[in-house]
Chains A and B, each alone.
Chain A
Amino acid sequence: MTQKTSTALKTDQMFINFGPQHPSTHGVLRIALTVEGEVVVKADPDVGYLHRGIEKLFEARNYSQALILTDRLDYISAMHNNLAYCLAVERLAGIHAPLRAQYLRVMAAELNRIASHLVFFGTFGVDMGAFTPFLYAFREREMILDLFEMLCGGRLLYSYIRVGGVSVDIPAGWAEMCREFIIFFKPMLKDYDTLLSFNPVFRDRTVNVGRISASQALTWGLSGPNLRASGPDYDVRKAEPYCVYDKLRFKAAVAQNGSCWDRYYCRMLEMGQSADIVLQCLDALAGPELISGEIMAKGVPKMLKPPAGQAYAHIEASRGDLGFYAVSDASISPYRMHVRGPSFINVAILQEILTGCKIADVVAILGSLDIVLGEVDR
């Protein structure tokens, strides 16, 4: 601490650097905390340690090369990034993916949502001092990663969803394995509830901690489970259905209290909904009206040159409303590509809600927002 800052603080105040190298920041986030005893009086989140200039890199690649960059944004749920990017480019170029590809996309996205929320469930438990749920979460996540590996070869960065469709159809035996997994997984949610959700110690740490009101959540632009935990029922899958979500039955998980526990529990409920959606997709894929192997729109050129124009497409990703704003100048690479990363917008509210909370709750609040720094810093 420099001489200047130490004299600027009152004698009973202390300045703490939380991160950037700290296991509870889930990456490289630094929060500059000024504390008075146990109470935080000022919190200043500092991001950018993982900035790779991805929006600039888009401009130097063609549309198919740029797809692999999207994997590296929110690397915990890469399918959603692929999907949002492809929807934006398809809107720009006027391409319509075949129905079978739409179902495959939704199924992959929902499986990835389960995997992503499992990482949240495990690591949030570790943040709160419960190690056992982490092992359960990663056991189940491993099964999803195996399914993805069978499907497209990738375990973390998939590039499975392509402009115009998806890269491959499901291999033989995959649907049965996936169905087996869902049948195994759905009862596990009850185990998670007994392990963590209704554990008295865990509830003491999270219920009524870090409350965000509905109006706060809206003005700060929160999205996904973070917004719905505060009351507003806004789910892009319902508000602006993309792919085949308008044909599927599911409920958006909503809570009213807006505390850490509500944000946590919204995600737990969402996992059950996602499992149901995956089953519906598997049923549809086995049905007669979807022609096997019809996974790519016809006539999509290898070197895509969308007409000059601008398009925006957004989806409900694991962490919220993920959008791609694409500008084309009719050349082979995007003229401009902006990513509306939900994590980046969700993390900004920390400066307001951390003020006045206890220093031990900083980890709980940060963990409950479920950010991924790859998407914050881009």
Chain B
Amino acid sequence: MTAEEIFIKLQASFPGLVKSEERIKDYPTWTVPAQSVRTVCEQLRSGFSFNYLDFITAVDWPGSVGNTVPPAAGRDVFELVYLISALSTGVKICLRCEISRKEPAFIPSLYGVFMAADWQEREVYDLFGIHFEGHPNLKRILTPETQLGYPLRKDYAHVPDSYD
């Protein structure tokens, strides 16, 4: 089954699912409402044999940082990017969703659907401060517990400590 056919079948149950204008080259890219990302992935896994989660990551699009206005001014969102594959057919689909940058930022966790989400969601939490609802062990993974703030946010300011 091609990505196109899967899209048409899935869109019947998830009207919020749309094709993104901006594609992740060169993969079919769909935008998913944040609250249904877990159910869409469950559907893809059970109904369309998508058995592999390639990666999860996030991109910070702040409305403004200090006096500078970034290229996506006015969006003020976190963009989450998921790439999932059906290894048997070789189809890969990229899912994007946008959530508000207002604290606290929440999105459903994929823990349990794909165990690969365990550490990758912890990484995104650690570096972006996005909370994954339903993750049983959401704590910092790469930075030390004493880390202040979330380093990969565009407005991150390093607070000098005794090692600087």
Contact = CB atoms under 8 A, between A and B. Distances in A.
Interface of A: 47-48, 51, 53, 55-56, 91-92, 218-221, 232, 234, 239-240, 308-312, 314, 321, 323, 325, 327, 329-330, 335-336, 338, 340, 344-345, 347-349, 352, 377-378
12 contacts: A51-B143, A53-B151, A218-B87, A221-B52, A221-B53, A239-B87, A312-B24, A312-B25, A312-B94, A325-B57, A336-B152, A345-B119
Given A312-B83, A344-B119, A91 B59 contact: no
Q: Which 6 A-B pairs have the closest CB atoms?
A: A221-B116, A311-B25, A338-B57, A348-B119, A340-B55, A329-B71
Most chain A CB within a 10 A radius of its CB, from B60, B71, B141: B141
Nearest to A45: B119
Contacts of A232: 87
B contact face: mostly helix, strand, loop, or mixed: loop
Contacts of B94: 312
Contact of B120 (A312, A321, A345, A349): A345
Given A311-B25, A312-B25, A345-B120, A221 B54 contact: yes
Nearest to B57: A338
B87 A219 contact: no
A346 B52 CA distance: 13
A219 B119 contact: no
Nearest to A238: B90
A155 to B, nearest CB: 28
Given A310-B23, A311-B25, A325-B55, 6 more contacts: A47-B141, A48-B140, A221-B54, A311-B24, A312-B83, A344-B119
Nearest to B51: A218
Interface string B95-120: 00000000000000000001110111
B26 interface: yes
A51 B142 contact: yes
B127 interface: yes
Contact of B70 (A219, A323, A329): A329
A352 B72 CA distance: 41
A293 B24 CA distance: 33
